Structures are given as C-alpha cells and as structure tokens.
Amino acid sequence: MTPVAHLDAGVSSEARDPSTSRGPSRLTHAAASQLEKIRTIVVDDHQHIARLVANRIATLITEKQAAGERTVLGLATGSTPIGVYRELIRMHREEGLSFRGVITFNLDEYFPMGGESIHSYRRFMWENLFSQIDIDPQNVHIPQGDVAREDIDDECRRYEDAIVRAGGIDLQILGIGKTGHIGFNEPGSGAQSRTRLAMLDAITRRDAAADFFGEDFVPREALTMGIATILEAREIAILATGEHKAPIVQRAVEGAIDIDVAATFLQNHPNTTFYVDRAAAAELTRIATPWLLDEVEWTPELTVRGVVWLSQKVGKGILKLTRWDYAEHKMSSLVARYGTPGAVNGEVFNTLGAKIRGKSKLPRGKRIICFSPHPDDDVISMGGILRKLVENENEITVAYMTSGNIAVFDHDVRRYVDFLERIAAEGKVEATSVVPLAKTVYDFLEDKKAGDVDIPEIQDIKRVIREAEAVSGIEVMGLTRDNAQFLNLPFYQTGKVAKDPIGPADVQIVRELLERIKPDLIFVAGDLSDPHGTHRMCKEAIDAALVELRSMVPSSLPEVWLYRGAWQEWPVTDATYLVPMSQEELRLKIQAIFKHQSQKDSAPFPGHDEREFWQRVEHRNKETAAVLDRLGLAEYFAMEAYVVE
C-alpha cells in the first residue's frame, strides 16, 4: 500500500514534526514515510495524547451535531484511553460539550463477567466516562459478558447488527497490547474476523494479572470486535504510551502485515492515526536512527546517540571507530562535520566520561528529598546513590508517596495477625484489642473473592507492613525511621488497582513537604512503565506542586533528578549522570531490597518481567556498567543512571 501522509491538520507544530527526536532534525515527510505504514504522531507525554484525541472527538461531535447527524464512537478501556475520557469530561463540564445523540460501542468485555464486577469493562466505562457526561444510557453498547455460553453467537450477531443500524462507527479508539492485539484480537486473528468469543493469549493474561490480583484470576476468554469490524470504522485512533510499548509500536508501524500481530492490519486502513508518546516511539527508525533515513542536523545529543549506536553496531570501542565504519552506516556527514573520525570519537568518549559521578562528585551537606512512589522504589531504583549521599552527610528525607498496601498478599496479613494473637496470649499486649481485630480480619478474608476491596482494618494492616519494611530498608542505607515521611496521598486510597486522578489534596501534601524541608535537590521516579501508573501519577503531583511553588518563590526551587530501575534503566546516552557502585555497594543495595519481604519471591504486581526486583536491579546495574565497558570507557562493577530534568 502507499503510506499516508504524516501530517495532521489540527496538530501542534511540535506534534507535526515528523522527526520528533531529541534535538532538531531535517527529516522530510517522504523519508519518514519510507518505513512507517501508519500515520504516526509523536508527542511529549500521555497528557498531550489525551488532549489531541479528545479534541478530535469533540470536533467530530460538534460537526455532526451542526449537520443534524449522530456521532458513533468506538471506545476502548485500559489505562491509556482513560486520559482521553477525563479530558472529555472536562470539556463537557467546562466547555459545554454535549454527548446527547452520541452512540458508543465498546471493543470488548471479559467472559464470563458480570456487569457489576469490579473487573467489568461495563463498570469501567460508567465509572470513568458515562456517569459524568450527558449521554443517553440507551445509546451505550458494551458486549454482554454475562450472557449464557449457548447464546454467545446470538449476542455477537446482535452487536454487529447494532453497529450497522447506527450507521457504522465514525471514530474508533484503540489501545495496543504487548502481543500487538487490538481489542482482544490475539495472534492468529484473521483480517475477516467479526465480533466473537476469543481465547486470551498467555501474555495478555499475564499483563492483566495486576488488575485481577493474580494471573490465576484472569478470565481465559473475552468477547471482542473482530479485525474486519474495527477496519470498517471511518477513522481510527490508536494510542500507546510507555517504554514497554516501544517494540510493538515499531513492529505495528514499520513491520509487514502479519496475522500474528493484529495491529499491522491497520496499515490497510485509509484513515488511521497512531498517537504515541516519546517513550513508546523510541524504537521507530526516525527516532532511534534518523540518519538512516535522511540528512539530519548533528546536534551534540544526536551525535552522542549516533556514535554509541555505531559502536554497538560494529562491536568496537568508540575510540576504535574508523572512517569506513561511519561510511558503511550512512554517517559520513558526521565525520565531515568534525574533520576526522578521531575528533568525533574523542568528543563523544569525553562526553560519556564526564557523566560519571563517584562519591566525591556527588552533593555534600545538602537538603535532599527522595520521593518514592511505593515503599520500596527508593532502594530498588537509587539504593546505590542513597548510600553515597548518606556518607556525604546530606540531610535526607525519604518521602513515601503511597502506602503500597494493595501490593500485600492476604497471607501476609494472616501471618501478622497470628503474631499479634500470640503476643496477646502471652500478655504482652491487650487481648481486648487484638481478639476483635483478628476476628474481623479472619471473617472478611474467609469470604473474600479475588478483586474485592479490602475492609479498612486490612488496608491499614497492609499499610503498616509496608511502612515497617520501608524503615528497615533505609536502615540498611544508614538512615533511621526519622528520615522517613509517609505521605499517603489520597489518590491512591481507593483500595483498588484503579486510582483516582491526582487532585488538589495530593498536590497540597507534596507542596507542604517541599515548603517545610526546602530541599536543594529532589529525586523523582522517572519510570513510566510501572503496571498500574502510580509512578506517573506521583510525578504528576510533584510537577504540579513545583509549578505552584514557582509562582510563589521561584528562586528556591530544587534541582530535580529522575531515577529509574524498577522497570527499566535510563540509556547511557540519555543519562545526565552515571553513578558507579562497587560489588559491596551493590550487595548492600540488594540487602535493602530484601527487607521488603512482602514483595519478595513473588510480588503481587511484577509487571512484564518475571524476575524478582533484586534480580532485575542486579542485572540492570551491571549491564549499565557493561555498556560503558563495551564502548571502551572505564570498567565498573555496576552503575545507576539519572537524568537531571
């Protein structure tokens, strides 16, 4: 097929730039289209995506209403489109956007699944959109997940007929799964498939495990629109955010059409737009290696990325790269800019070397806040530098932003309650307090079903378990419980995997801590791929608090260092600073991680990596050091990476 153009008439100039790589580029639209078979818009973050897609929906509704026509929307569930729905709700409340006459059809629903279940997509849509806009409930269509098995075929035909009677879908919203599925069209779904009952792929079920508090509780089947049904929509918007989506985005946009990757069928659709943030776009050729497509402007940042890529591609240290290596990989223009390979090699080598910060080059005697979204992110992601900062006599506060209580297994609660009962039986604590608490806990857990929201007593026990583990972890680093602040931000206190939006109360708590501590430096989680979005939401609260402080006392804002580590690490090309660790320091970091026993062996929310957190940390920290070694720089045992924002 002929690739469609890569410009969209109502998109900001930043989003329209087809290069969207860090640093300016002169990539032409034709060059960017050489490999991209779906129109793709890359923006800074998920909020920008939400605004773009919501604006497109609002424009469509307004145009249809002006023409006396109904708008038919195809909707999706999940963490990615929820931002779109929140923006639509805002536009309804603040700008008068009306959904009267709008008809909706959802992509899918688990089977079997009652409509009132906490896991139901029907409930998800009503909680996150329909109950907060003026849509007619009779115009809402969601596959019936609780239909009798013998009636499934009739339900699927009814759903297809309803779409036809509505005049077809004007705009279909899609997400993309790790396998490339759209809806629940798993690998093997054909181009002619229609609404049907589908078996869920093992990877899809594993990815959904966090929402169901364990993979064993994830349904094995789902009702889903088929590929052909989706492709009949007049316009399609597919959304992806986060580093973990980068490989499948690249495959869907640049790869061949393949029955094993359902999203590739969108290449045959005449009006599909892929909206991705920079993290999800990272492996697109125009982002990762734009010099392979067209002439580029070799900014300092792009120069470092290019030379590191070339070094890794040819398997040579940076200082050993030759003119021939550059010529063979379409990078002669870079050598021409510097005059000789040695000149460019030397500059990049020195740039990378300057990123390395041992203890003597780290802050000393400063006020520092480490913001930890969950009660273990501090030691998992920055345990190495945390120990060095303690040794440098900095005044450190570790601010745990959420309780992390949903990530504690029920068996841990039973164990701690049994401990309390035994202490009470020996007269060490008042049995009058312990006995009724134990009965309340045991009675609830006896009848608890997967996904049920814990009663307050159990939520509190799980919170305290994690707080005690957090204190134990920082004690390994040389800190005490006095260095720990437990913020318990309200957005997290739903008792469910799904959280409330960040609100003024969350921002106020963060701002008040910043005002009280007056830090010179803060550490913030830059992981955007955690499985339930808490890291991203915590960063949103911190960013909002800093904006408020900037309007009040702009001269006293702290420096911000972003860390990663729980889900991935910063590439050495992106990192501002690389902090080396000795074998003993890495061992100490792992010991601190071990203190989080509720997350040990099998964490409730492991994400896409089945290894324990300490195993991921050990591998990533060693691999970051190994990358520098392979590039020809100094050899270190392990290393953490940080980006100064």
pLDDT confidence of residue 553: 74
Fold match flag (37-244+254-276 vs 359-405+455-644) = yes
d(CA 615, CA 527): 17
Mean pLDDT estimate for the chain: 91
DSSP 87-152: HHHHHHHHH----TT-EEEESEEEES--TTSTT-HHHHHHHHTGGGS---GGGEE---TTS-GGGH
pLDDT at 492: 94
- The residue assigned the tokens 């035994």 is 422
Nearest Cα to Cα of residue 603 among 406, 458, 402: 406
Q: Assign domain 359-405+455-644 one CATH number from 3.40.50.10320, 3.40.50.300, 3.40.1410.10, 1.10.3720.10.
A: 3.40.50.10320
- The widest CA-to-CA distance across the chain, in whole angstroms, is 83
Q: What is the pLDDT of residues 303-340, one digit of tens each?
A: 999 999 999 999 999 999 999 999 999 999 999 999 99
Spell out the domain ranges in the chain.
Answer: 37-244+254-276, 295-354, 359-405+455-644
Q: What is the pLDDT of residue 600?
A: 85
Residue 255 CA to residue 44 CA, distance in Å, equals 24
186 in catalytic set: yes
Q: Which CATH code fits 37-244+254-276? A: 3.40.50.1360
Which residues does 480 contact at the CB level (< 8 Å), separation at least 6?
471, 474
pLDDT for 532 equals: 59
Q: Which of 87, 186, 283, 569 is catalytic?
A: 186
Nearest Cα residue to 525 out of 549, 502, 505, 541: 541
Structure tokens at 592: 């601190």
Sign of CA dihedral 345, 351, 356, 360: positive
| Res 298: pLDDT | 97
Q: What is the dihedral of CA 541, 547, 548, 552, to 10 degrees?
A: 150
Residue stretches of the chain with pLDDT short of 70: 1-33, 210, 528-532, 554-555, 602-609
CB 302 within 8 A of CB 31: no
- Helix, strand or coil, per DSSP, at residue 632: coil
Give the pTM: 0.86
